A = this chain, B = another copy of it.
Amino acid sequence: MTGSANSTALLTDHYELTMVAAALAAGTADRACVFETFARRLPDGRRYGIVGGTARVLEAISRFTFGPDELRELAEREVVDEATLEWLADYRFSGDVDGYPEGELYFPGSPLFTVRGGFAEGVLLETLVLSILNHDSAIVSAGARMASAANGRPMIEMGGRRTHEQAAVGAARAAYLAGFATTSNLEAGRTYGIPTSGTCAHAFTLLHDSERDAFAAQVARFGPDTTLLVDTYDITAGIETAIEVAGPSLGAIRIDSGDVGVLARQARAQLDSLGARNTRIVVSGDLDEYAIAALRAEPVDAYGVGTSLVTGSGSPTAGMVYKLVEVDGRPVAKRSSHKESRAGRKAALRRHKPTGTALEEVVYVTADGQPQRGEHDRELVVPMLRDGQPVGAPPTLDECRRRVRDGLVSLPWEGLKLSNGDPAIPTVYQ
């Protein structure tokens, strides 16, 4: 229910519009501005962040237009005056955007998404840019920690029920970026082409006169290569029934409660003793990256992850800000408090050891020229929009997913520790 015609323009803070109105009246609306999106710090104790949502932001900017419905709303509420309404009716972002490609690692101060254009056209995008990047980055960042803890075992995203119904779709996309194998969310399947999966809940077992009847119904419909949920009543009896019904070629069992480590070991032994050596064990139920790491030594074949993923595992927002850093070529910054920003349009390169391990994030003011770049260093900022138009074809979701994986490989070893710590590499300002 965004209202009319797919416009994203009202997914915006009231004050972006009043600033446009005041700047238009003052004749300052067209001053050439640079707005920079960055995180002052990583969420508490996190060692890295991962940029998520970039493609969604670019797509949302392309729909950031004020149609008759949006203009009527602004007029009726007297948010802005007639002159501003006329200006808005013609609005289409026509500036430039540069930033970190989606899936890239980021650290404090990394210039993730830089918007250049007139003040009014740039300030209007603040809320939407931050909403998407803050949400999606929080989830990709949490998901990457889980992927790293899972160490190659597949993970299934199933958290849609624990977050806003539309955020669920974005969360499923972010989880896939982070390395999750599938999602339960059908809309994410439709919108982003992500593989979806799912079989049965406890309700299905309870619906039937017996667990055996329920399993039989499921196997009758989906064949033995399905996943039977065995913990509705007694897990040992459930596994026995499951193999009796489906035979030893049963695809998988799922355990959703209890001490899943102990239960997985018992289940593995029982399945093996029943000849079901290839039946996989899927565990779910309040898993986060710590629980997943704790299950590394257990015979678990896949993890279902819900709440902790979609809520960013304790950090539901990435805390990024969108700050004006340059006006008509003049660097600007707020300077009343600890909330200071660094003035001037910036870019960044990441230094690496010859082995490929990241060493430091060098953030520099572009007007001062690029710092000396070593053989193993990498420029991080790429052009995304020029005069409002996309630069080249956007990377696919799978390319961004590989970028996440490659980024994790490039982190120094401490960077992958789940415990609280400092950023894995320092940010150096030049």
The chain A residues found within 8 Å of chain B, CB to CB, are 1-3, 6, 8, 10-19, 21-23, 25-26, 28, 31, 33, 35, 60, 69-70, 73-74, 77, 79, 81, 119, 123, 126-128, 130-132, 134-135, 158, 160-171, 184-187, 189-191, 196-204, 206-208, 213, 216-218, 220-222, 231-235, 238, 256-258, 285, 307, 310-312, 316-317, 319, 322-324, 327, 332-339
Contact = CB atoms under 8 A, between A and B. Distances in A.
A134 B119 contact: no
Contacts of A220: 22, 25-26
A131 B17 contact: no
A69 B186 CA distance: 12
A288 to B, nearest CB: 13
A207 B28 contact: yes
Given A201-B15, A217-B25, A164 B161 contact: no
A163 B135 contact: yes
Contact of A206 (B213, B258, B324): B324
Contacts of A1: 6, 169, 191
Tallying the copies of this chain within the complex gives: 2
Nearest to A162: B317
26 contacts: A1-B6, A1-B169, A2-B166, A3-B190, A3-B191, A10-B189, A11-B165, A18-B199, A22-B200, A23-B204, A23-B207, A25-B220, A26-B208, A28-B208, A77-B189, A81-B221, A119-B207, A130-B162, A131-B164, A162-B317, A233-B336, A257-B337, A310-B317, A311-B316, A311-B317, A312-B316
A13 B310 CA distance: 14
Best-surrounded residue of A3, A19, A35, A285 (most CB of chain B within 10 A)? A19
A185 to B, nearest CB: 7
Nearest to A312: B316
A253 to B, nearest CB: 13
A343 B221 CA distance: 28
Nearest to A285: B339
Contacts of A168: 11, 131
Contact of A222 (B22, B166, B185, B203): B22
A165 B13 contact: no
A33 B31 CA distance: 63
A17 B199 CA distance: 8
Given A10-B190, A14-B189, A28-B217, 20 more contacts: A1-B169, A2-B191, A3-B191, A12-B187, A14-B196, A15-B184, A16-B198, A18-B199, A19-B201, A22-B200, A22-B218, A26-B208, A26-B213, A35-B203, A163-B167, A163-B317, A202-B324, A233-B334, A257-B339, A311-B316
A342 to B, nearest CB: 13
Contacts of A18: 198-200, 221-222
Contacts of A171: 164
Contacts of A73: 186, 189-190
A131 to B, nearest CB: 4
Nearest to A139: B164
